[in-house]
Amino acid sequence: MKKVFITGGSGTVGSCFMEHNLKKYQITSYSRNEKAQVALKRRFPKVDILLGSVEDKFTLENALRSVKPDVLIHAAALKHVDTAEKQPIQVVQSNIIGSKNIIDLSVDINIPVTIGISTDKACNPNNLYGFSKKIMEKMFLEANNDKNLFCCTRFGNVAGSSGSVIPFWINCKKENKPLPLTSENMTRLMLDGKQVSSIIEKCILESENKKGGFILSKKMKKIYLKDLAQLISDNIKIVGLRPGEVLYEDLISIDEVEFTRVEGEYIFIDNHINQNLNSRLKNTLSSDNAELMMDDELRSLIKYVKNRMTDTLNY
């Protein structure tokens, strides 16, 4: 059984991967959040937990050498846009220096596959969080070599993740508070835990064919946050954009289209131009031009998040 080491493993991306892969891999979660790690262990007893930060290279190295993973999933990051705008030094420490520590140790310890978890905010970034993830993507692609494969995933908003809008709005509804909405025209790409896991699993599958040096994404649907809010509550208050926030977010930019390779529902962004025009994207992808989610799909997302919130409370 292959060993998978997940930084920030107690977060949403790590737990989504675990939900669908506990029988397939021996998994270690590495995170500085002790409370979340203990809750994760109660929920997934077979998962090993180690405390530590990716910023602390000494502790990170000891953890990686003790586990000797076959696959390293780098999900640890400072993820909140508004926090990043207020504390840029911490963003650099966590998202850039922490990612460089991952790269250095993956090569030194000779970890076969390292997967960086990126975001649609890294495409045409206009906030510090997005810029930090764009740099991480570039570093991972530069680090890729025949012996140590590096690749990244890039996807939109994960329903129910820490600080995400659905659980926040559900709690506002319970407390009889208005749901704050930045704009009626705001759109986002959103996906559930199963889709998140499938993108990471596809990266691991590609690595078995000795392929690295790419960013992997997937066709996703957009939501109008107004539509989502209205399915939760009628009490909505428009509050305006926060610092670094935009009305829609890109997934694949115009500059990246010629580097894309489409395989079914998956989209690869390679580090070389794809000469086969038939296998490329024909246009950019964003929450502005993506296919719209229907109400029943939005209700399914809300139900999914409510179930996750219940599971979290139980542990």
121 is catalytic: yes
- Give residue 293's identity as a one-letter amino acid code: M
Q: What's the chain's Rg over C-alpha atoms?
A: 19
Closest of 145, 66, 53 to residue 102, by C-alpha: 53
Strand partners, 217: 267
Catalytic site residue from 41, 100, 121, 174: 121
Contact 30, 60 (CB under 8 A): yes
The three-state DSSP-derived secondary structure of the chain is CCEEEEECCCCHHHHHHHHHHCCCCEEEEEECCHHHHHHHHHHCCCCEEEECCCCCHHHHHHHHHHHCCCEEEECCCCCCHHHHHHCHHHHHHHHHHHHHHHHHHHHHHCCCEEEEEEEHHHCCCCCHHHHHHHHHHHHHHHHCCCCCEEEEEEECEECCCCCCHHHHHHHHHHCCCCEEECCCCCEEEEECHHHHHHHHHHHHHHHCCCCCCEEEEECCCEEEHHHHHHCCCCCEEECCCCCCCCCCCEEECCCCHHHEEEECCEEEEECCCCCCHHHCCCCCEECCCCCECCHHHHHHHHHHHHHHHHHHHHC
Catalytic residues: 121
